[in-house]
Structure 1
Amino acid sequence: MSGLELFETERLVLSGWRMDQLDDLVALHGSPNVARYLTVSGAPWTREQAEKSVAHWIDLFETRQLGKLRLTRKSDGAFVGRAGFGIYPPTGEPELGYALFEGYHGAGYAKEAALGLRDWFFANNKGEHFIGMADVRNAPSLAILEKIGMEKTHVEVDHLGLTCQFHIYRLPVHV
């Protein structure tokens, strides 16, 4: 995808990453309040971790049209965070995920991005379902998964060692 716009929601533009935007991800995942639910240690990401992730997301979009995307606000172009679909390593399922700068929490941006991604996923025939999960301590993130219509499935320790509540969203069946 390499920096191209994928789609827009009412207030956001979702676009791919370029390697020259690495500093944005370092700032986002370098925040202790953002990183606390992303790893067992809760440690902010290093530049190397961010670089590996951006390269992976670029490749994932180029090969499968999935990946975590940049979220920018339409009104002023501000970078607010990232959201999109990864591939959950243990199962190979598409997995919805998002992270926003703390200053944008509570403004509805994560829900707006998640709803847009949900609809985009099915409109573009990416599969019959996707999963999402969040650390059991991350109530706001768990609430977003439920607000977009995902069903709780189970709690387990994920591949990174976090105790997560898992959810699933299945393609709606129309009769």
Structure 2
Amino acid sequence: MSAIPILETERLILRVPRTEDWSEYSVLMMSERSVYMGGPFSLDAAWGLFCHDVAQWTLMGHGALMIEECQSGLCLGQVGINYGPLFPEHELGWFVYPHAEGKGYAYEAALALRHWAFRERKLDTLVSYVDPPNTRSRSLAERLGAELDTEAPRQDPTDLVYRHPKG
């Protein structure tokens, strides 16, 4: 097990999820906004996902970090690395809450975590699994320099798989 990092960018702190993050997280996961992540989820399932995000740090040496704005202390969303039975490859994923959309926070957070994953965890590859209608995530993956990999394994055959550059 590796220590859970705290990553900082110019505007953000990426930190371990806390109990006080649950309320806003659960609202998102139980809403239609979670449709591209397999939702909407029940309260029980949302809680399981929240706990999963933290447990991966112990089990896999990576997991989810909440995105917090340095200046205000507001929680803006989450970025994480998933792996295990539901993810054929290490996956870089993200979401931001409605109040944080369109400000580049997901890009900044994903770039920081990707850099950490390659540098500190020495991962060979990272992909992002994206539901085809999720144009915002598709655009973000492309902005991050990820390219479609039509040959990559995927759990959901309809997912697009974006392979991230190692640099």
Where on the TM-score scale, by shorter chain, does this alignment land: which range? 0.7 to 0.9
TM-score (norm 2): 0.85
How far residue 57 of structure 1 moved from its aligned partner, in angstroms, is 1.7
* Residue 140 (structure 1) aligned with residue 162 (structure 2): no
In the alignment, the residues of structure 2 paired with residue 115 and residue 62 of structure 1 have an alpha-carbon distance, to the nearest angstrom, of: 23
Match of 1:35 in 2: 34
How much identity, in percent, do the aligned residues show?
A: 27
CA RMSD of aligned residues (A): 2.5
In the alignment, the residues of structure 2 paired with residue 46 and residue 90 of structure 1 have an alpha-carbon distance, to the nearest angstrom, of: 19
Residue of 115, 122, 129 corresponding to 1:119: 115
The equivalences for 1:7-156 within 5 A come to: 7-19=7-19, 21-32=21-32, 34-39=33-38, 43-87=39-83, 89=85, 92-154=88-150
In the alignment, the residues of structure 1 paired with residue 166 and residue 105 of structure 2 have an alpha-carbon distance, to the nearest angstrom, of: 23
In the alignment, the residues of structure 1 paired with residue 138 and residue 99 of structure 2 have an alpha-carbon distance, to the nearest angstrom, of: 19
Please say if residues 88 and 95 of structure 1, whose CA atoms lie closer than 8 Å, have aligned partners that are also in contact. no
Please say if residues 62 and 82 of structure 2, whose CA atoms lie closer than 8 Å, have aligned partners that are also in contact. yes
Please list the CA deviations of residues 58-96 of structure 1 after superposition, one character each: whole Å capped at 9, or x if unmatched: 211123221121111111011111111011535542101
For these two proteins, the number of residue pairs brought into alignment is: 165
Question: What secondary structure, in the 3-state scheme, does the structure 2 residue paired with 1:163 have?
Answer: coil
* Residue 163 (structure 1) aligned with residue 155 (structure 2): no
Please list the CA deviations of residues 1-26 of structure 1 after superposition, one character each: whole Å capped at 9, or x if unmatched: 9xx66211111111112345322310
Q: Which one has the bigger strand percentage?
A: 1
TM-score (norm 1): 0.82
Which consecutive unaligned segments of at least 5 residues does structure 1 have? none
Query: Judging changes above 3 Å, is the alpha-carbon distance between structure 1 residues 88 and 106 closer, same or farther for their aligned structure 2 residues?
Result: farther
